[in-house]
Amino acid sequence: GQQLNQSPQSMFIQEGEDVSMNCTSSSIFNTWLWYKQDPGEGPVLLIALYKAGELTSNGRLTAQFGITRKDSFLNISASIPSDVGIYFCAGRSGGTSYGKLTFGQGTILTVHP
Amino acid sequence: DAGITQSPRHKVTETGTPVTLRCHQTENHRYMYWYRQDPGHGLRLIHYSYGVKDTDKGEVSDGYSVSRSKTEDFLLTLESATSSQTSVYFCATKGERSYEQYFGPGTRLTVT
């Protein structure tokens, strides 16, 4: 089946630093979604991308849909302690897939004050 | 936020017992999904529904069944729970004209 490789697996950064993470696949996706999960809670949608090359921002978060349609990137600027959590990418391929998503393994972000 | 609730939020059960988890949504979304989340595996799709009484298998459906008799409710049943089904289970929903899935708060299931 389709797989998404998300990297890095974990990051330890100082408050105020910028963060970059990415997802890559050998398959083409038509939609990329980025989620954040806090401990004990469900994933929360951060950004949705629908077109190759698209760059979308949500506050301090910026995500890009790769030109090849096989990758996506998430950047967090000026990190703060509440950015701590697990970040997941998810991709949707085309066709009658009933919106099924393939998820990356997640990037665990730790922010030191 | 699609107004998704899951019940129970926590459950401990014994091997061999049946277990049913409930997902309830208030947004009238057509599509509903059940995932399990395990360390090292991320989120994996168990079953999904594309309408009332319309369901299909996901990638890890063995040992699970689902039912959807109303738009707002999607039930996940473990007919005979096993220790390998200890996990956190998430329900998600998606509207008709969107590709964005919204998740519930999860159910932590422990099978002893």
Q: What is the rounded average pLDDT of the residues A72-99? A: 90
For residue A100, the model assigns a pLDDT of 87
Residues of A within 8 A of B102 (CB-CB) are 45
What integer best gives the mean pLDDT of chain A?
93
pLDDT (tens digit, 9 = 90+) per residue, A28-37? 999 999 999 9
| Amino acid (1-letter code) at residue A95 | G
pLDDT category of residue A1 using cuts at 50, 70 and 90: low
Sign of dihedral through CA atoms B51, B55, B61, B66? positive
| Lowest mean pLDDT segment, chosen from A72-76, A108-112, B38-42 | B38-42
Percent of chain B with pLDDT over 90: 90
pLDDT (tens digit, 9 = 90+) per residue, B19-66? 999 999 999 999 999 999 998 788 999 999 999 999 999 999 999 999
Tally of CA atoms within 13 A in the half-sphere of B30 that contains its CB: 11
3-state secondary structure of A73: strand
Residues of B within 8 A of A100 (CB-CB) are 33, 45, 48, 58
Find the CB nearest B106 among A33, A42, A50: A42
3-state secondary structure of A71: strand
For residue B1, the model assigns a pLDDT of 52
Kindly tell me if the per-residue pLDDT of A95 is higher than 70. Answer: no
For residue B42, the model assigns a pLDDT of 84
- Residue with token string 């422990």: B110
| Lowest mean pLDDT segment, chosen from A45-59, B18-32, B91-105 | B91-105
Among chain A residues, the shortest Cα distance to B98 is held by A99
Tally of CA atoms within 13 A in the half-sphere of A62 that contains its CB: 10
